[in-house]
């Protein structure tokens, strides 16, 4: 595990931290370009990616690692809970393996100030990573996932509809498709209002096959909206390989159809994701319109819940009883696990001398404990009262009928 990033960390260990960080980024950008760009996308994006990560402070970089760890342990804790605690009422779609995508994107965004100031993100049916990276409170999330009255959304959202407007986390979405249309509507409102916010829509590879993807991209391009579509291509939608519904190797190629930049990044490497997201955010804030980012990534668990997983062990293998047959070989899961986003970020930061191995290990232990405490707190929270079920559905009080102002 420690040697996996030797190619990256080797240089870094011999030179000064800043020089090695630069070298690393150049090597990384070169490698990224080699695997990432095809046809006209290459012309649109090469040289535009920028080496933004080098401008981050040590504190910001450490924070990225902390976020990746928080997502990882929040979810691993809930995997174990689903396997061992029959009282747990949550049903979760785990994001483990994809942590670097949400973390890298949200590190490039403004995450405070509510809906009128923060950058906005629209999430999916696999929302934990997006919510945590945007800054949601994991205690309230854990309570919400178990439908407790003190949860982030008073226990009526669960995982599938969780949201937190105060940080610009506009919500999970159980429907595959419509999210980007709503998100481009937000981007249109932002442009009309003249604020400098940016809207990010996260979607899986499955969303490429929906009309909403193309409608959103077309309108965002036509209207030059401050909009970023992040496709998390984890190779499968439920139990179908993405090539069954997308004729191209890279979904990002679709950007060419709409005349906007499309970029492919290694979704296991938070720095690559951050670089691409930061470039897209700068472009959107400058009024130059949308970008499509495709992050190549992988989920370690099955589509839904914890079938095939064992308590205390990372990943789920073998048959998923919900699938008709084994939809992915065990060796594919294990191969992706050798490019783990936690390890890659950890090794990068150690190579850059931002943290050392002792600190990295201590951070992981502290975060694991923080998550265990959050889930223990959630377990003690009250359940929702049935008579409260119809509260918070409609606006209470008076609402003026008006078109403007
Ligand atoms: C409109 C609609 N059709 C079908 C489903 C059932 N469904 C839930 S998740 C999913 C696959 C999503 O795949 P992808 O977008 O690649 O995201 P991933 O699960 O891989 O993160 C499907 C088909 C749904 N939720 N909504
Ligand atoms: Mg997918």
What is the predicted pLDDT for the residue at 403? 66
Q: How far apart are CA 250 and CA 38, in angstroms?
A: 9
Give residue 231 CA to ligand 1 midpoint distance, Å: 13
Whether 396 maps to a domain, the answer reads no
pLDDT digits (tens, 9 = 90+) for 34-71: 333 333 233 334 333 346 777 789 999 999 999 999 99
How many domains is the chain built from?
1
> What residue owns the CA closest to ligand 1's atom 13?
237
> What residue owns the CA closest to ligand 1's atom 22?
238
Q: Indicate the SS3 state at residue 312.
A: coil
Whether 244 maps to a domain, the answer reads yes
Ligand nearest to the CA of 207: 1
Whether 395 maps to a domain, the answer reads no
Whether 170 maps to a domain, the answer reads yes
Q: Encode the chain (405 residues) as per-residue pLDDT tens digits.
A: 333 233 333 333 333 444 444 444 444 443 333 333 333 233 334 333 346 777 789 999 999 999 999 999 999 999 999 999 999 999 999 999 999 999 999 999 999 999 999 999 999 999 999 999 999 999 999 999 999 999 999 999 999 999 999 999 999 999 998 999 999 999 999 999 999 999 999 999 999 999 999 999 999 999 999 999 999 999 999 989 999 999 999 999 999 999 999 999 999 999 999 999 999 999 999 999 999 999 999 999 999 999 999 999 999 987 677 666 667 888 999 999 999 999 999 999 999 999 999 999 999 999 999 999 999 999 999 999 999 888 888 777 777 777 665
Whether 401 maps to a domain, the answer reads no
Element (H, E) at 185: helix 179-193
Range of the domain at 340: 6-388
DSSP 114: -
- Count Cα neighbours of 107 within 13 Å in the Cβ-side half-sphere: 28
Candidate from 92, 123, 161, 176 with most ligand 1 atoms within 8 A of CB, to mutate? 176
Q: How far apart are CA 167 and CA 141, in angstroms?
A: 14
Whether 403 maps to a domain, the answer reads no
Whether 400 maps to a domain, the answer reads no
Task: Please check whether residue 144 is in contact with residue 162, taking contact to mean a CB–CB distance below 8 angstroms.
Answer: yes
Can you give the CATH number for the domain in which 257 is found? 3.40.50.970
Which amino acids bring their CB within 6 angstroms of ligand 1?
A: 125-126, 174-177, 204-207, 234, 236-238, 303
What is the predicted pLDDT for the residue at 400? 77
Candidate from 98, 213, 238 with most ligand 1 atoms within 8 A of CB, to mutate? 238
pLDDT digits (tens, 9 = 90+) for 168-195: 999 999 999 899 999 999 999 999 999 9
Whether 45 maps to a domain, the answer reads yes
> What residue owns the CA closest to ligand 1's atom 5?
176
């Amino acid at each position: 595990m420690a040697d996996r990033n030797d190619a990256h960390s080797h240089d870094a260990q011999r030179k000064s931290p800043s020089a090695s960080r630069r070298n690393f980024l150049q090597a990384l950008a070169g490698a990224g370009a080699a695997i990432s760009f095809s046809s006209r996308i290459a012309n649109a994006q090469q040289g535009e990616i920028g080496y933004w990560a080098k401008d981050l402070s040590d504190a910001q970089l450490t924070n990225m690692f902390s976020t990746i760890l928080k997502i990882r342990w929040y979810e691993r804790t809930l995997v174990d809970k689903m396997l061992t605690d029959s009282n747990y009422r949550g049903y979760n779609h785990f994001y483990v393996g994809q942590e670097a995508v949400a973390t890298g994107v949200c590190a490039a965004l403004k995450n405070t100030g509510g809906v009128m100031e923060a950058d906005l993100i629209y999430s999916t049916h696999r929302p934990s990573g997006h919510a945590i990276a945007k800054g949601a409170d994991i205690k309230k999330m854990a309570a919400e996932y178990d439908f407790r009255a003190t949860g982030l959304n008073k226990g009526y959202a669960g995982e599938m509809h969780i949201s937190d407007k105060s940080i610009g986390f506009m919500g999970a979405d159980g429907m595959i498709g419509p999210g980007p249309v709503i998100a481009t509507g937000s981007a249109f409102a932002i442009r009309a209002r003249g604020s400098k916010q940016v809207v990010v829509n996260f979607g899986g590879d499955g969303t490429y096959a929906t009309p909403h993807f193309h409608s959103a991209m077309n309108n965002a391009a036509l209207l030059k909206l401050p909009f970023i579509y992040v496709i998390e291509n984890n190779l499968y939608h439920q139990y179908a390989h993405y090539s069954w519904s997308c004729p191209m190797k890279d979904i990002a190629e679709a950007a060419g159809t709409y005349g906007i930049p499309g970029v492919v990044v290694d979704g296991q490497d938070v720095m690559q994701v951050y670089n691409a997201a930061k470039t897209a955010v700068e472009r959107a804030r400058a009024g130059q319109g949308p970008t499509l980012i495709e992050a190549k990534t992988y989920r370690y668990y099955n589509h839904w819940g914890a079938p095939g997983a064992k308590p205390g062990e990372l990943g789920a293998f073998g048959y998923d009883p919900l699938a008709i047959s084994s939809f992915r070989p065990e060796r594919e899961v294990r191969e992706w696990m050798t490019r783990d986003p936690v390890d890659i970020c950890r090794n990068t930061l150690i190579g850059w001398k931002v943290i050392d191995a002792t600190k990295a290990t201590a951070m992981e232990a502290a975060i694991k404990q923080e998550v265990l405490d959050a889930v223990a707190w959630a377990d003690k929270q009250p359940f929702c009262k049935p008579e409260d079920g119809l509260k918070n559905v409609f606006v209470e009080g008076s609402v003026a009928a008006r078109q403007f102002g």
